[in-house]
Amino acid sequence: MKQPQQEQDKIESSLSKNKQRIEELLLDCDDIIRQPMKLGGETKVECLLVFIEVAVSNMILQDSVIGQTFMQMMNESPQKIIEQAKENGLGIADIKELKTMKEATAALLAGNAILFIDGYDKALKISSKGYPGLGVQQAESEKVIRGSNEGFSDAVKVNAALIRKRVRDTKVKVKEKRMGERSDTVVYLVYIDDLVDPGILSQIESGLESFKIDGILDSGVIEQLTENSWRSPFPQYQTTERPDRAAMAILDGRIALLSDNSPVCLLLPTTYNCFLQTTDDYFNRWEIASFTRLLRYFASFLALAMPGLYLAVTTFHAQIIPTNLLLSFQAAREGVPFPAVIEVLIMELAFELLREAGVRLPGPMGSTIGIVGGLIVGQAAVEANLVSPIVVIIVALTALCSFAIPNEEFATASRLIKFFLIFFCAFMGLYGFVLGMFFVFFHLAQLESFGIPYLMPFSAADMNGYEDEKDTIIRRPLFGLKRRPYFAKKDQRTRLRFKKEDKE
C-alpha cells in the first residue's frame, strides 16, 4: 500500500508538474517565494527556485552558495546543466540532490532554497543562511525560566519565519492581507490548515474586511476594530511577543495574527484560561506547573478583590476580625484624618501613577522609580498620617498580585475592575462585594471569542468531552493531554499517540 504513495511523491522530470505540486502544497503560503527563471547559454532551460523570503537572501551574491550555483549554470547548455546536476559535477559542497517532494519541502522549511530544473527528476537543495537567530530580539514582557529567549520583531516576514522555524509543516499557512488605505500594512494570518476550524477562520477574515481605515500602525488597532464586545475591559484577543507561544497556539488549532511594524502577535480565539498560562508550563514537570498556576489564579482573584474586601470587612463587618487584630488596625489608624475608602483610593492612585511613570521613564531609571518610589511614597504617607500602614501593605500586595498575571492586557482589566469593587464595598460591605463579583462573573459568562465561551472549560466543558478541564488550574502530566482544545477541528483533536496504541 505504501508504494503508490512513494511513487506519487517522487519529483517529476517535468517542471510544470513539479510546479503544480508545489503550488498545491504551499497554497496560501504567501511568505514562501516561487521564483521562475531561465538558465543556460543561448538555449535556456526553465527552472524554479523556491525559498522562504526571510531565510534566503534576496541578493544573489557572487560569494554565496546560490550565487556560485547560478554563475556556473548561466553559460552552460541545458543538457550540460542536467548532466552536471546528475553527476554532482557542480563541485559545490552545499548542494544536495533530493528525490521526493517530501524531502524537498522538509529542506525548504528548514530554511534552504530548493531548485527544480526542467528535464531533471530531482531537486537541488542549496544551503542558505537559514532562519533569523537569537539576535532578532528578546521577549521583554513575557519572561520565562525555561524555554526560548527569542521574541518577535517589528518585521512581519521575520515573525512569520520564526513561527515556521518551530512548526516545519507545509500545512502551516501564511495568508497575506493588506490593510489601511494609506499605510498599506501587511497583515498575516498564520494557521495550520487541517487543524483550524473553517468557521472561525471565516469569521476572522470577515472581521478584517468589515472596515476601512487610513492606517494600521499596530496590531492593537485591529484588535479594537474587530472585537465583538468592545465595551468589555477584558481582552478578547490574547497577545504575545513570543514565537514559541504562537507556535503552541497554532498547534492547538488557533490562529496567529501578525501585523507589520508590530512585535505583538494576536492569538485567537481565546478564553480566560489562556491568559493565565505560560509557555514554560509545558516545559516543566506537571507538579511545578500546577503549583504556579494555582498561584496565578489566586493572584488574579486577589488583584481584583483584596482592597474591596479590606474595606468591606473593616468598615461594615469588623466583628469577624479577631479582637487583637482589630485593635492593631485601630491603633495603626490613629491620627489618620480620612475614612478608609479615601486611604485606599489615595494609595491605589499613587501606585498607578508610579507604575505609569516607571513605564515611560527610560531604561533602568523606570524600574528604579517603580520600586524605590513605592517604598518612599508609602513610608512618607504613613509618617505624615495620611494613610495607615495596613493600607500600604494591602495596596502593595494587590500590585504584586497583578504583576503575577502573565498577560499585561488581562492584568490591566483586573486593575480597572478593582476600582469598581472598591466603590461597591465602600457603600454596601460584603453584600456589595458579592454583588460586584456577581456582575463580573455574569459579564464573563456572556463573553465569547469568535463563538468560543470565554469561561470555557469552566463552563461548556462538555463541548469537548471534558478534555479541556485537564489543562486548567491543575495541569495533568503531558502523557494525559492527548486531545487538543475545543479550538481545533473535531476530527483533528488527537495530538498525542503512543506507538503501542497504534499497534493494538
Which of 126, 148, 175 is the last residue in one of the domains? 126
Instruction: Give how many domains the chain has, as a whole number.
Output: 4
Please answer whether residues 269 and 485 qualify as being in contact, where contact means their C-beta atoms are separated by less than 8 angstroms: no
Q: Is residue 280 part of a domain?
A: no
For the cut 60, the answer to whether the pLDDT of residue 91 exceeds it is: no
Which of 237, 270, 303 is the last residue in one of the domains? 270
Please answer whether residues 107 and 94 qualify as being in contact, where contact means their C-beta atoms are separated by less than 8 angstroms: no
**Which residue segment(s) compose the domain that 479 sits in?**
461-503
For the cut 70, the answer to whether the pLDDT of residue 57 exceeds it is: no
Q: Is residue 279 part of a domain?
A: no
If asked whether residues 434 and 291 sit together in one domain, one would say: yes
What is the C-alpha to C-alpha distance for residues 58 and 46, in angstroms, rounded to an integer?
20
Predicted structure pTM score: 0.84
pLDDT tens digits for range 322-365: 888 888 878 877 878 888 899 899 888 988 888 887 777 766 66
What is the structure's pLDDT at 66? 65
Before 4, cis peptide (omega within 30)? no
pLDDT tens digits for range 277-294: 998 889 889 999 999 999
Average pLDDT, the chain: 85
If asked whether residues 154 and 173 sit together in one domain, one would say: yes
DSSP 340-402: HHHHHHHHHHHHHHHHHHHHHS-HHHHHHHHHHHHHHHHHHHHHTTSS-HHHHHHHHHHHHHH
Q: Is residue 113 part of a domain?
A: yes
For the cut 60, the answer to whether the pLDDT of residue 4 exceeds it is: no
- What is the rounded average pLDDT of the residues 451-461? 87
Question: What are the residues facing 37 on neighbouring strands?
Answer: 47
Highest mean pLDDT among 134-138, 231-235, 488-492: 231-235
For the cut 80, the answer to whether the pLDDT of residue 93 exceeds it is: no
- Angstrom distances, CA of residue 157 to CA of 31, 35, 51, 364, 381: 7, 17, 13, 31, 51
Before 269, cis peptide (omega within 30)? yes
Q: Is residue 499 part of a domain?
A: yes
If asked whether residues 466 and 447 sit together in one domain, one would say: no
If asked whether residues 446 and 467 sit together in one domain, one would say: no
- What is the rounded average pLDDT of the residues 155-167? 91
Question: What are the residues facing 179 on neighbouring strands?
Answer: 185
Provide, rounded to the nearest whole percent, the portion of the chain with pLDDT above 90.
38
pLDDT tens digits for range 8-38: 688 998 999 999 999 999 998 998 989 898 8
Q: Is residue 276 part of a domain?
A: no
Q: Is residue 407 part of a domain?
A: yes
If asked whether residues 422 and 486 sit together in one domain, one would say: no
Give the residue, 369 or 1, on which the prediction is more confident: 369
If asked whether residues 438 and 469 sit together in one domain, one would say: no
If asked whether residues 86 and 151 sit together in one domain, one would say: no
If asked whether residues 109 and 234 sit together in one domain, one would say: no
- What is the rounded average pLDDT of the residues 235-245? 92
For the cut 50, the answer to whether the pLDDT of residue 263 exceeds it is: yes
If asked whether residues 23 and 169 sit together in one domain, one would say: no
What is the structure's pLDDT at 127? 78
If asked whether residues 78 and 32 sit together in one domain, one would say: yes
Residue (of 310, 309, 306, 325) closest to 400 by Cα position: 306
pLDDT tens digits for range 178-208: 999 888 899 999 999 999 999 999 999 999 9
What is the structure's pLDDT at 416? 92
If asked whether residues 321 and 263 sit together in one domain, one would say: no
For the cut 60, the answer to whether the pLDDT of residue 5 exceeds it is: no
For the cut 70, the answer to whether the pLDDT of residue 420 exceeds it is: yes
Q: Picking from 125-129, 397-401, 419-423, 486-490, which range would have the lowest pLDDT averaged per residue?
A: 125-129
Q: Name residue 155's amino acid.
A: A
Which of 126, 152, 187 is the last residue in one of the domains? 126
Provide, rounded to the nearest whole percent, the portion of the chain with pLDDT above 70.
87
pLDDT tens digits for range 125-134: 887 766 766 4
Q: Is residue 57 part of a domain?
A: yes
Tell me how crowded residue 316 is: count the other CB atoms within 10 A of its CB: 18
Q: Is residue 278 part of a domain?
A: no
If asked whether residues 383 and 264 sit together in one domain, one would say: no
